[in-house]
Amino acid sequence: MRAHSFLILAAALAAPLPALAQNQAPGNRAQQRVEGINRSIESNSEIRGIQQQNRFETNQLQGQIQRQQSLPPAPLPPIGVRR
């Protein structure tokens, strides 16, 4: 009985799972074109987000540089003579 249960379980696990509708290749050219356009839009959106982040960080760095350049230089410490 126990061996029979294991055989049924093994057969169930070995059987191919039904494919999900999302993973199936589109049936027609219009569907393929729409999916291609959607991928392109998503890719462009990701690129735009990266570019915006880079601009933000660049502006932050430029602001820090300008603030540092506008400050007067720090005074030099006095030089002491040792005896």
How confident is the model over 64-79, as pLDDT tens digits?
Answer: 999 988 888 778 888 8
CA distance 53 to 10: 51
Which has the closest alpha carbon to 23: 11, 35, 40? 35
Read off the pLDDT of residues 18-64 as tens digits, 9 standing for 90 and up.
544 555 555 799 999 999 999 999 999 999 999 999 999 999 999 99
| Numbers of helices and strands, H then E, in the chain | 2, 0
Maximum Cα–Cα distance for the chain, whole Å?
99
Which SS3 state, helix, strand or coil, does residue 16 take? coil
Q: Is the pLDDT of residue 16 over 90?
A: no
Is the pTM higher than 0.85? The answer reads: no
